[in-house]
Amino acid sequence: MLDTALFYIFAALTLGGGVLTITRRSAVHSAIWLITSLLGVAGLYLLQRAEFLAGVQVILYVGGIMVLFLFVIMLVNLDQAAKEKRFSGQKWIALACVAAVALQALWFVSKGAGRFTLGQPSIAGENLGNSEHVSRVLFSQYLLPFELASILLLVAIIGAVVMAKKRI
Amino acid sequence: MEALLATYLKPLVMTAVIILLFPLIAGYITLAERKVLADFQVRLGLMRVGPYGFLQPIADAVKLLLKEDIVPSAADRWIFWLAPVLSTVTALTAFSVLPLGPNLQVADVNIGLLVILSLSSVGILGTILGGWASNSHYSLLGSLRSAAQMVSYEVAMGFAIVSGLMVAGTLSMQGIVKAQFDRQIWFAFSNYGLMFIPFVTYSIAAVAETNRAPFDLPEAESELVAGFHTEYSGFRWALYFLAEYANMFVVSSIAVTLFLGGWLRPFANIEALRHPLDFAFPAGLFGLIGVGCAIGMRRRTVAVDKGIMAVLAMAMLGAAAAFLVPMINAAIIGPFWFLFKVSVILYCFIWYRGTFPRFRYDQLMRVGWKYMIPIGMGALIVNGLVLLKAR
């Protein structure tokens, strides 16, 4: 009962935040609504008993990425940006993407959840916490992708330093 | 019914108490700060409102509430309103996972420390948005500085915390304290003393995270008037101020929980020290303060001042007596040690402010990126290796 109510609240936050993100004129307002949307997603993770994921979502997206977004937005000349055309002409690509997602959702609903193998949520009352589960899987089953992702990030960091610094 | 009470009533009551009480506590932390700084500078400090300035925080609070609420005409009104609220709400929400005592905690969640870290990262937004919404150069520069500083030092802080978590093996705040009891050592001194390095890194990063001197560049008054809250006054300013002190309390609490044994007394596993440390020490401490208040009462001349000092002396002596009753002692000794350790760290915060001159901006960034982060990483690797060896 409480879970259902919370689900609808978080879902409304996520979707409403998303809609407001693309309709606000001021870029800073858009960023704030994007943050709301991301927090809504974190809430949905919490409802799925993925506490670790929820915490990391907030730290990385809200605390890291959105702070950098705001940083850039604040230094940009907003008056000029407000005069420009609001929606860039990618209407058809956007429509195609939305249609694809809608078809997927429709297909899923028509087949019923029973036909698919869904990821199992961690079971409450188990001795191992959520973070332990994540780390166990990450460092055994998915070790190679994890390490590859770290190398990718390292390359990106070095690339950023090389591009930013004129004299190394 | 019993279960319902335990799940909902206790957390709700504790939340209400924290929200109502913390502004008062923050006020008295500022009083302590001004008094201690005055002492460092060989002057008396506050002496006018109440005996020895004891009622000053209340006078300040009334003044702030009655001040005219000014919103700059060019400001973004909506964000101008949102920013201080965001700072205060996130700072106070972090209190919900602090383990004040063995049973005194709003919620013992299994990602306790992660919750605090994520809340503090959302709190940064309050600073950035406040500076931007004011539409003033000083505010914007202050908030840019502050954001850059907080993001940089969050990395160093993260490394120090990860070292601590590695030793503890859990993210739950109560779990961390219990791990220190089982391991029979505070984590600041474990791993053959190697964990002391992350503790020091954390302490420095914590000062920078809370924008306190010597890292108070975001509000450097000689350059930026008051930094990101230049345009804020009255109650809105009070909210920022509350958030700053709440953040100080929270980072001190993390240091206490992760490195200094939380609500455990020193040498928690040595039974022989139980009576001297759990009974004699707090009773003696409060008794001494009570006697001090009694002497202060005799020196005051105004009748009202004498009365207030008498009430204070009685309260302190009463607290001292309460610690001698075994049943009451069992209930309050955990919170006593926790708050005592937090107070010691808060005193150090004030001490730094009275001792170190402010850093220049490039020095601040150099300390953060070239010293703190590499040291944090090195400490993490070395402690990991030592733990692996011990296993």
Asked if B140 and A71 come within 8 Å (Cβ–Cβ), the reply is no
With an 8 Å Cβ cutoff, the interface of chain A facing chain B consists of 26, 28-29, 32, 35, 39, 51-52, 54-56, 58-59, 62-64, 66-67, 70-71, 74-75, 129-131
- pLDDT per residue as tens digits for the range A29-85: 888 899 999 999 999 988 887 888 888 888 888 888 888 888 888 777 666 666 666
Does residue A137 sit in the same domain as residue A68? no
Question: Which of left, alpha, beta for B112 (phi over 0: left; psi -120 to 50: alpha)?
Answer: alpha
Whether residue A2 sits in one domain with residue A73: yes
CB-CB neighbors (< 8 A) of B147 in chain A: 67, 70-71
Q: What single string gives the DSSP state of each residue in B166-214?
A: HHH--S-HHHHHHHHHHHTS-GGGTTTTTTHHHHHHHHHHHHHHTT-TT
Q: Which of B90, B117, B125 to mutate to test the interface with A (most CBs of A within 10 A)?
A: B125
Q: Which amino acid is at A32?
A: I
CB neighbour class for B164 (10 Å; exposed up to 12, middle 13-18, buried from 19):
buried
Whether residues A14 and A77 fall in one domain = yes
* DSSP letter (8 states) at residue B41: T
In angstroms, rounded to a whole number, what is the distance separating the alpha carbons of residues B258 and B161?
Answer: 8
Secondary structure (3-state) at A114: helix
pLDDT at A154: 94
- Judgement on whether residues A7 and A71 belong to the same structural domain of the protein: yes
- Please spell the DSSP secondary structure of B2-14, one letter per residue: HHHIIIIIHHHHH
Domain end point (choices A82, A100, A123): A82
Confidence check: pLDDT of B170 > 90: no
Q: Determine the structural domain holding residue A168 and report its residue range.
A: 132-168
pLDDT at A21 over 80: yes
For the range B211-215, what are the long-range contacts, defined as Cβ-Cβ under 8 Å and sequence gap of 24 or more? B211/B146, B211/B149, B211/B150, B211/B244, B212/B248, B212/B349, B212/B352, B212/B353, B213/B352, B213/B353, B213/B356, B213/B358, B214/B352, B214/B353, B214/B356, B214/B357, B214/B358, B214/B359, B215/B149, B215/B153, B215/B358, B215/B359, B215/B364
- pLDDT at residue A115 above 60? yes
Partners of A130 on chain B (C-beta within 8 Å) are 110-111
Q: What is the pLDDT of residues B314-325, one digit of tens each?
A: 898 988 888 888
d(CA B123, CA B247): 9
CATH code of the domain in which A72 resides: 1.20.120.1200
Instruction: Give A54's contacts in chain B (Cβ within 8 Å).
Output: 111
Q: Is residue A28 part of a domain?
A: yes
Which residues in chain A touch residue B125, judged by CB atoms under 8 angstroms apart?
35, 62, 66-67, 70
- Nearest C-alpha neighbor of B243 from the set B271, B213, B268, B211: B211
Q: What is the pLDDT of residue B135?
A: 80
- Of the three residues A49, A82, A115, the one that is the final residue of a domain is A82
Contact B140 A74 (CB under 8 A): yes
Contacts of A72 (CB under 8 A, 6+ apart): none
Mean pLDDT across the stretch B150-174? 86
Residue A149 lies in a domain: yes
Yes or no, beta carbons of B121 and A64 under 8 Å apart: yes
pLDDT, one tens digit per residue, over B271-315 is 788 878 888 888 888 889 989 888 888 888 888 888 888 888 889
In a domain, A37, yes or no: yes
Q: In terms of domains, do A1 and A78 share one? A: yes
Check CB contact of B114 with chain A, cutoff 8 Å.
yes
| Structural domain includes residue A126 | no
- The number of distinct structural domains making up chain A is 2
Least Cα separation, residue A130 to chain B (angstroms): 8
* A104 falls within a domain: no
- Find tokens 């008993």 and name the residue: A49
Inter-residue contact B180 to B261 (CB < 8 Å): yes
Do A64 and A137 lie in a common domain? no
From chain B, pick out residues whose CB is under 8 angstroms from the CB of A75: 144
Q: Does B303 touch chain A (CB under 8 A)?
A: no
* Claim to verify: residue A65 and residue A141 sit in the same structural domain: no
Whole-number percent of chain B with pLDDT over 90: 9
CA gap B169, B188 in Å, rounded: 15
Number of neighbours of residue B382 by Cβ within 10 angstroms? 16
The single-letter DSSP state of residue A58 is I
pLDDT recorded at residue B375: 92
B285: nearest Cα among B336, B348, B349, B329: B336
- B142 pLDDT exceeds 60? yes
Residue A48 within a domain: yes
Q: Calculate the average pLDDT of chain B.
A: 85
Q: Which is nearest to B97 in space by CA: B22, B25, B15?
A: B15
CA B79 to CA A30: how far, in whole Å?
12
Residue A152 has what pLDDT?
95
pLDDT at A123 over 60: no
What share of chain A in percent tops pLDDT 90?
Answer: 28
Residue A57 CB neighbours (<10 A): 21
**Do B203 and B352 form a contact (C-beta atoms < 8 A)?**
no
Give the mean model confidence (pLDDT) for residues A16-25.
87
Q: In this predicted structure, what is the pLDDT of residue B146?
A: 82
**pLDDT confidence tier of residue A12, bands split at 50, 70 and 90:** very high
CA distances from A64 to A59, B121, B318 (A): 6, 8, 49
| Predicted pLDDT at A77 | 64
Residue A113 lies in a domain: no
Residues A78 and A14 placed together within one structural domain of the fold: yes
Which residues of B are less than 8 Å from A56 in CB distance?
Answer: 114
CB contact under 8 A, A28 and B125: no
Please name the residues in contact with B24: beta carbons below 8 A apart, sequence gap of 6 or more.
B57
**Does the pLDDT of residue A138 top 80, yes or no?**
yes
pLDDT of residue A81: 64
Interval B57-98: pLDDT, tens: 889 888 888 888 888 887 788 888 888 998 999 999 988 888
- The answer to whether the CB atoms of A63 and B82 lie below 8 A apart is no
pLDDT tens for B327-375 read 888 888 888 889 999 999 999 999 998 888 888 888 888 888 889 899 9
* B7 Cβ under 8 Å from any chain A Cβ: no
Got the DSSP string for B224-279? HTTGGGTT--HHHHHHHHHHHHHHHHHHHHHHHHHHS-TTPPTTTT-GGGHHIIII
Whether residues B114 and A52 touch (CB distance < 8 A) is answered with yes
Nearest CA in chain A to B114: A55
Residue B166 has pLDDT above 90, yes or no: no
Residue B198 buriedness (CB in 10 A; 0-12 / 13-18 / 19+): buried
Q: Are residues A5 and A75 in the same domain?
A: yes
Q: Which H, E and C letters describe B257-269, residue by residue?
A: HHHCCCCCCCCCC
Cβ atoms A55, B118 nearer than 8 A: yes
How confident is residue B108, by pLDDT bands cut at 50, 70 and 90?
confident
| Last-in-domain residue among A45, A62, A82 | A82
Q: What is the mean pLDDT of chain A?
A: 83
